[in-house]
Amino acid sequence: MTLANLVGVLIGLVNNIIPVLVTIALAFFIAGGIRFIYKSGDARGHGADKTILAWGLIALFILVSVWGILALLRQSFNL
């Protein structure tokens, strides 16, 4: 097995896992948003909900960025 084949297999594996992780991160983001709206009258409860929203958004950004970088690498090196 050559290095190009190994990298191609790893990129293919990551490309299959990322949509699942994006779905989970999106679910956390939506759940945090729903909790934030539901607790709109309680100022104390917003701290945890803002944290869930922020981490969900950060996770989505990182996952989509990695997905884009892998697609760029795949096309650049013809894998």
What is the pLDDT, as a whole number, of residue 38?
Answer: 85
Q: Categorize the per-residue pLDDT at 3 as very low, low, confident or very high, splitting at 50, 70 and 90.
A: confident
Distance between CA atoms of residues 70 and 40, nearest Å: 40
Distance between CA atoms of residues 1 and 56, nearest Å: 38
pLDDT tens, residue by residue, 10-69: 888 888 898 898 999 899 889 888 888 888 777 676 777 788 888 889 999 999 998 888
- Domain extent, residue 9, equals 3-76
Q: Which pTM does this prediction carry?
A: 0.73
Split into its structural domains, the chain has a count of 1
End-to-end CA distance of the chain: 14
